[in-house]
Structure 1
Amino acid sequence: MDSIRLKARAKINLGLDVLGKREDGYHEVRMVMQTIGIYDRLILTKIPEEEIRITSNLAFLPVNENNLIYKAIKLLKDEYHFPGGVSVDLNKFIPVAAGMAGGSTDAASTMFGVNRLFGLNLSMGKMMELGVRLGADVPYCVMRGTALAEGIGEKLTRITPVPHMWILIAKPQINVSTRLVYEQLDMGGIQKHPDIDGIIRAIEAQDVVRIAQSMGNVLENVTVPLYPVIETIKQDMLSHGAINAMMSGSGPTVFGIFPDEQTTLACQAFLKKKGDARQVYITENFN
């Protein structure tokens, strides 16, 4: 095998709670993660030169050592010394800097691809262990599906897959720094923490309405005041039939859970016409 084509899928957080700040500067979190259908397409190809080459459909994306794809290949190269190099063609569709783990899922898929191309025979667990060196979301993006994430996000427990859901994704014309959001989070100012256990119980009951109504994200306390358009999009989704709507991760992407395809399509049309969101996609959960 000299080339492999992969789909690097995005994630949303059905629940995101922050329990406190650790001595190492990271935050202790408790989250319910869910893979969705939106994906970036990667084609990895072996090359004889000892190089890492990345091309992308987005001109503003770095294609050097500042790209997580590059870092993932270098990490595996340094650890396992496979011969030659890798060329990566990235077609990016997941919104960038959007709270959907776009970079992390690209890195996770790259690790999977390099593992296959060079016959490294790494288990999923080993790739997850290596992935945390690249970023807290990378281990989850290796595992995918429905999971409880704890620690800094690297302690993962697979839970009951969510039932089918119609999901609308809306990314406003802003980018958000995850680091900035966490730095500005005032733990003492959090008046309500999401009921993560309640979300898990709703998933176990396979009740889409309960899942949606249980959702919560403490990082909205920081990001929404900085970027009020997030709240505007949430309210627009709710007024156009969403069971619930919430910011994913550190934002600014908003997602809504809808009762059926027709309602989702109608809300998508409204948001596109209004123009607060630059990217508006209909998708579904991917288990």
Structure 2
Amino acid sequence: MEGFSVEMKRKAPAKVNLALDILGRREDGYHEMRMVMQTVSLCDTVTVRETEEAFSLRTDGDFIPAGKKTLEQQAAELFFQAAGQTMPGLAVTLEKRTPAYAGMGGGSADVAALLRLLRDRYCPAMADEELERIGLAVGSDMPFCVRGGTALAEGRGEVLTDLPPLPTCTFVLCKPDFGIPTPTLFARVDGAELTARPDIGGMTAALAVGDLEGVAARLGNVFEEVLPPEYREVFTIKERLRELGAMNAAMSGSGPTVFGIFRCRTEAERAAAALKARYAQTFVAEPVKKFAGLE
């Protein structure tokens, strides 16, 4: 198969967790999850070209520090092993727009986009399930980020069931100027009796009949129940989104990004403008159906 004679680009859309529940800690050290995940149009761009040199990765013009294999390199090596091919030299560039360490799967989305691009170019017969398996070896969010759309994610996040697409709506995504260490939240979940679990069955039923109000009413994330006091600004943003017209709002993943669902884009853009005066990393996005229009 001919390699990259020219640069090839692929969008890497972020995700939000419409619902996130943690069922318990597993014997392998991971947690048993149950989530409804949704791809959104906020995205990075991944560019690849074949070179005579070893694998390299740049992000926004800067080299990634040497001395450790990046997730992108690990995924590329696993891809070519699975494809039974020798890995060529690859120069990968990331144009970042999705905030890092934000609960929106930005890093996982970049790796997933790279895997889809490599598959399409070097091994188009490779099944989606195999690409998801390769992704799982790198990170738990990878299988969903490879698949995209709207899905129920169980297990570590790798057991995926496609769901009917989210009805037309607009998201406002707002990341405050701090990060939340994911291991800290998982540790707090392990020692907590969770009482505010999301109604995931009700959400999937609402999706089945195209009931946006029913989906919005059931947004939920158990991590919110165990947030340390220093991260309570998450709840301030949630309340502000509702005041600005959101049908509902919730934290995505392990945060700190909060998203609100709006019925129309005009209303969402007004809300985003109001939030951006205080929170620079505020974005407007649409739900994405299986990467339609982004490939």
> TM class, shorter-chain normalised?
over 0.9
- What is the alpha-carbon root mean square deviation over aligned residues? 1.8
User: Following the alignment from structure 2 to structure 1, what is the Cα–Cα distance between the partners of residues 273 and 66?
Assistant: 34
Verify: 1:135 aligned to 2:144, yes or no. no
Match of 1:76 in 2: 79
The residue type equivalent to 1:201 in the other structure is: A
- Alpha-carbon distance, 1:226 to partner: 3.8
8 Å Cα contact 1:224-1:231 kept in structure 2: no
Structure 1 stretches of 4+ moved >4 Å? 58-64
Task: Give the alignment of 1:206-245 within 5 angstroms.
Answer: 206-223=210-227, 225-245=229-249
Match of 1:285 in 2: 287
User: Following the alignment from structure 2 to structure 1, what is the Cα–Cα distance between the partners of residues 216 and 61?
Assistant: 33
Deviations 1:166-191 (A, max 9, x none): 11000111122222221221464211
- Alpha-carbon distance, 1:41 to partner: 0.3
Verify: 1:105 aligned to 2:104, yes or no. no
8 Å Cα contact 1:53-1:63 kept in structure 2: no
8 Å Cα contact 1:223-1:250 kept in structure 2: no
Query: Which of 114, 123, 128 does residue 127 from structure 2 map onto?
Result: 123
Match of 2:165 in 1: 161
User: Following the alignment from structure 1 to structure 2, what is the Cα–Cα distance between the partners of residues 90 and 83?
Assistant: 20
Taking structure 1 as the reference length, the TM-score comes to 0.93
User: Following the alignment from structure 1 to structure 2, what is the Cα–Cα distance between the partners of residues 66 and 234?
Assistant: 37
The residue type equivalent to 2:287 in the other structure is: N
User: Following the alignment from structure 2 to structure 1, what is the Cα–Cα distance between the partners of residues 47 and 55?
Assistant: 13
Cα distance change, pair 9–192 in 1 and its aligned pair in 2 (3 A): same
The residue type equivalent to 1:213 in the other structure is: A
Unaligned runs of 5+ in 1: none
Deviations 1:136-188 (A, max 9, x none): 11011111101000011000001111111111000111122222221221464
User: Following the alignment from structure 1 to structure 2, what is the Cα–Cα distance between the partners of residues 85 and 58?
Assistant: 19
The residue type equivalent to 1:151 in the other structure is: G
The residue type equivalent to 1:55 in the other structure is: R
Cα distance change, pair 184–202 in 1 and its aligned pair in 2 (3 A): same
Cα distance change, pair 63–281 in 1 and its aligned pair in 2 (3 A): farther
Unaligned runs of 5+ in 2: 290-295
- Alpha-carbon distance, 1:249 to partner: 0.5
The residue type equivalent to 2:21 in the other structure is: D
Taking structure 2 as the reference length, the TM-score comes to 0.91
User: Following the alignment from structure 2 to structure 1, what is the Cα–Cα distance between the partners of residues 134 and 126?
Assistant: 10
Deviations 1:39-61 (A, max 9, x none): 11011111123x11111117596
User: Following the alignment from structure 1 to structure 2, what is the Cα–Cα distance between the partners of residues 278 and 113?
Assistant: 31
Q: Which of 62-71 and 232-241 deviates more? A: 62-71
Q: Which of 58-67 and 38-47 deviates more? A: 58-67
